[in-house]
Chain A
């Protein structure tokens, strides 16, 4: 949940971005709404005051009303594109050095230098749908062609705008999507386990069901076979030719019945095979992951490149998200 203070920040930014005049005096916001908002908020007058002194978001929300509250939240939820520059200060060099020493267990020698890169940031909504149900997660990636890191919350407040230059949304999203499988490995694996567990259950249900059906068919065949055996035995032990003939006929008739039943069952077995084949489960066999980009940013930033040991294993420290990342290749 966001706090009351955070919401006040959102609210003020919303007003500023919509060029709506407002003044604040002791937490009392006096706002002159434009026509669009007047209509949207069903106000009688354009001017309206709100007391945003509440520390509890719930109270703040009731002061504003659900419509205005949702309007602000939904505005900042809308997908956006941005072209930014991350403002980095050189003084970080020493602290990066010290931090890398800490995570360099074999104390290999390393070289550290700054580099300017054109990186990207994408925030995805990750929809994961399996046979067990569905879930949603957020996945933020900061990346270039050479490295990628899941980045959680990042330092947008230390960025500034780049005045021109088009952001290649399609390329950036496509590049980001190639890293999802690795970056969200744990989340996807956890869902995949549940998904396959459910599929296994489904297959087991089907197989048990098919087996039971086969068994029921065989039982009928077995019953007739048993009767045939009994008739043949009676024919063998008959004391008169009449009785012998009677049981021989009975056995013959039952055999005919058995053959007919077996033919019929053959068709039924084929049907069972089709109807309860686990192939049917294949319709939903795969775990479905849907990526919805919510924020796409091109960010020019300074990073620290680290070359470690003789084989020059390379790492990158990304101040934008405070992460060490291993480079994909030299």
Chain B
């Protein structure tokens, strides 16, 4: 037995001034309260009264949190189905353990892209300030830490982490740690931890062996060796068929909690998708044709350059948040490194947004050019662009908004320039508008949301607003321009299509015929029915694709290669991958239901 006295409490009590000593009556009443209001185990969530108004806890989340706190061993996996708010459930557990002073040093290991989201959720909804680890000294200095797993596994960070005994370790997307040969796995194995909570929405992504690997991380040997697991529980080595009465379901219940959507009895709102296609005016068509011919020429020239490292557009890049200077710098930098495709992708995307955005994009692109011939070409394109009359896409948007009527609308665009011009046009048309973008500080953002909630009809939002914000008091989204990565679109829709949305979510897409945008809308979203996926399923589909980050490049290359070429009508390879991924997800879902459905 290891006995420790809570020294902070002793120190605190030592500071009590003599004139503040409790009276005999106070002692008698304290004794009364301690003995009569004491709970030896966790029967209710004491911290519930401290949650922010922004959070609506659901019964199953409370029950799950209580189950984890009461009935489960010190290492547990929460594997609720996607879209059921695992982060909230886990934050409730963390908060409860903190309020009850059962944990002191807490570390949350997350994929890099989620660290700010975790920090924000814990801060805004549970008033817990977690520090994001950037320096090895942070682990010692702060009791509540969020660390990107990629940072944590670096030798300096790992060394600092291993010096500490952690009261609680939370691992988000724990399924990514299933390979014992990886540094991630070794990091977790090397830590000294009293309690561990692993989170995964997809304990089974391909087959049951992944489930075995996942459980083997937290409970080595719990399901035997892989061979024993296969022999005992599975019908074959494909790992997608269970033996009847194998007892696996019962065994899993001891260390894993998985809530399926249908068990929650929550009514998830439906989605209604409307795609509005329009034709450019002759002038606009001509301008676009010339710009895309120029882009194709540049692209072809790039293909003949010496091979360079393949370009990846980082998932976190917020192009809408970059200033003209930043973009110009970035363009120069990319040029220096020979990674010019990115600039061309950006230019293409901006050209299919608003006319004003296209012109600004060309002006910025010009800064990256050196040859007089190219600069002259851009000047020529700018001249044409400036002479093009009305922006047909904006006109179409106004018609769509008119049809929507007086209901609140979240209008998304990827670019700050488009946001500017849209705000102006909306104001002229008599709409009350609130703006939200990544350039704003937290207070400004809060104000924008509050204004929209209170009395503005339209919130014009860049993609910086599509993460972490809950806008479910509205149910209509308009995608003025369409992100090429489906995950971005899903994040946009996710702002209003959440648990608690009572109305059908309307998604309006605006695309110009015969442009890269309509190509994506037709081939990717409509044909593969990506808009019809349930909340969170997009993540499942995309996680099956080998290189998520190359979606934009794959789409761009395929489109631009067949641009202006009647004979070439190929499908982007990534579309094929996504189609296959959708099929695979359906297969795995059937197995998952077999494994976790409590109705059998």
Nearest-Cβ distance from residue B39 to partner chain A, whole angstroms: 7
A206 near B9 with CB under 8 A, answer no
Stretch at the interface among B55-63, B85-93, B151-159, B224-232: B224-232
Q: How many A-B residue pairs lie within 8 Å, measured between CB atoms?
A: 187
Q: Which B residues touch A2, using CB under 8 A?
A: 32-33, 36-37
Instruction: Report the separation of the CA atoms of residues A127 and B71 in the bound assembly, to the nearest whole angstrom.
Output: 17
B37 near A169 with CB under 8 A, answer no
Please classify the interface of chain B as helix (H, G, I), strand (E, B), loop, or mixed, using the class held by over half of its residues: mixed
Instruction: State which residues 104-161 of B face A: CB under 8 Å.
Output: none
Q: Which B residues touch A169, using CB under 8 A?
A: 10, 13-14, 16
Q: Which B residues touch A6, using CB under 8 A?
A: 32, 36
Interface size on B, residues (CB 8 A): 55
Most A CB within 10 A of own CB, among B24, B30, B228? B24
B50-81 Cβ-contact flags toward A at 8 Å (1 or 0): 00000000000000000000111110000000
Q: Which B residues touch A88, using CB under 8 A?
A: none
Nearest to A81 among chain B residues (CB) is B16
Please classify the interface of chain A as helix (H, G, I), strand (E, B), loop, or mixed, using the class held by over half of its residues: mixed
Instruction: State which residues 155-186 of A face B: CB under 8 Å.
Output: 156-157, 159-161, 164-167, 169-170, 173-174, 177, 180-181
Stretch at the interface among B215-223, B334-342, B376-384, B431-439: B215-223
> Is A83 in the interface zone, CB < 8 Å from B?
yes
Nearest-Cβ distance from residue B85 to partner chain A, whole angstroms: 25
B184-226 Cβ-contact flags toward A at 8 Å (1 or 0): 0000000011100000000000000000000000011110110
Chain A contacts to B: CB under 8 angstroms: 1-2, 6, 9-10, 13, 17, 66, 70, 73, 76-84, 123, 127, 129, 131-138, 153-154, 156-157, 159-161, 164-167, 169-170, 173-174, 177, 180-181, 188, 192, 198, 205-206, 208-210, 212-213, 216, 275-276, 280, 283-284, 286-297
Nearest-Cβ distance from residue A15 to partner chain B, whole angstroms: 12
Nearest-Cβ distance from residue A72 to partner chain B, whole angstroms: 9
Instruction: Report the separation of the CA atoms of residues A216 and B224 in the bound assembly, to the nearest whole angstrom.
Output: 12
Some 27 contacts from A to B, beta carbons below 8 A apart, are: A1-B37, A9-B29, A10-B33, A73-B37, A76-B30, A80-B30, A131-B73, A131-B74, A136-B38, A138-B35, A138-B38, A157-B25, A177-B5, A205-B219, A208-B221, A209-B224, A213-B225, A283-B193, A284-B74, A284-B194, A286-B1, A288-B2, A289-B3, A289-B4, A290-B4, A292-B9, A296-B13
B22 near A80 with CB under 8 A, answer yes
Decide yes or no: A295 and B30 within 8 Å by CB, A2-B37, A156-B24, A164-B18 being known contacts.
yes
Q: Which A residues touch B402, using CB under 8 A?
A: none
Q: Which B residues touch A297, using CB under 8 A?
A: 27
Instruction: Report the separation of the CA atoms of residues A232 and B26 in the bound assembly, to the nearest whole angstrom.
Output: 91
> Is B395 in the interface zone, CB < 8 Å from A?
no
> Is B567 in the interface zone, CB < 8 Å from A?
no
Chain B contacts to A: CB under 8 angstroms: 1-6, 9-10, 12-14, 16, 18, 20-41, 49, 70-74, 101-102, 180, 192-194, 219-222, 224-225, 227-228
Partner of A293 from the list B10, B30, B73 (CB cut-off 8 Å) is B10
Q: Which B residues touch A210, using CB under 8 A?
A: 221
Decide yes or no: A77 and B102 within 8 Å by CB, A289-B2, A291-B3 being known contacts.
no
Nearest-Cβ distance from residue A150 to partner chain B, whole angstroms: 13
Most B CB within 10 A of own CB, among A77, A138, A276, A290? A290
